[in-house]
C-alpha cells in the first residue's frame, strides 16, 4: 500500500496513500448507503414500448375526463366572476357633466 519509514524513535511506520484510491472508497461508501437506505432502481417489469402504451392510454383517459368536465354545464355560483369595471363612477360623472354642458350650451344660443 505505502512505503515504510522509520520515525525518530526507530520504529517502523507504514505510510498509507491518502488520496490515490479515494474515488473507489467513495463509490463503495455510496453503494453501502444506497443499500442500507433501500434505494432501488425504478423497475416495473415493462419494456419501453409497453410503458409508452400505458402512458398514452392514461393521457387519453385524462384528456377525455377533462373534455367531459368542460362540456358540463356550470352551476350559477361556481363560475368565474366578471372583472369589475374600472373608473365606472368617473365615466358616469363625465357623461353627466358633458350632457349638462350640452344642455346649457343649447340654452345659451
The answer for residues whose C-beta is within 8 angstroms of residue 43's C-beta and 6 or more apart is none
The answer for residues whose C-beta is within 8 angstroms of residue 14's C-beta and 6 or more apart is 1, 2, 3, 4, 5
pLDDT bracket for residue 50 (50, 70, 90): very high
Q: What is the pLDDT of residue 68?
A: 92
For 55-109, what is each residue's pLDDT tens digit? 999 999 999 999 999 888 766 555 666 666 666 666 677 778 777 777 766 555 5
| Residue 5: CB atoms within 10 Å | 10
For 15-37, what is each residue's pLDDT tens digit? 665 667 888 899 999 999 888 87
Amino acid at each position: 500500500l505505502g512505503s515504510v519509514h522509520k520515525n525518530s524513535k526507530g520504529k517502523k511506520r507504514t505510510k498509507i496513500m491518502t488520496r490515490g484510491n479515494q474515488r473507489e472508497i467513495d463509490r463503495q461508501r455510496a453503494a453501502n448507503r444506497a443499500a442500507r437506505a433501500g434505494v432501488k432502481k425504478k423497475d416495473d417489469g415493462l419494456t419501453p414500448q409497453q410503458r409508452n402504451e400505458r402512458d398514452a392510454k392514461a393521457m387519453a383517459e385524462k384528456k377525455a375526463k377533462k373534455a367531459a368536465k368542460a362540456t358540463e354545464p356550470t352551476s350559477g355560483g361556481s363560475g368565474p366572476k366578471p372583472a369589475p369595471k374600472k373608473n365606472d363612477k368617473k365615466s358616469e360623472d363625465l357623461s353627466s357633466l358633458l350632457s349638462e354642458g350640452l344642455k346649457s350650451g343649447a340654452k345659451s344660443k
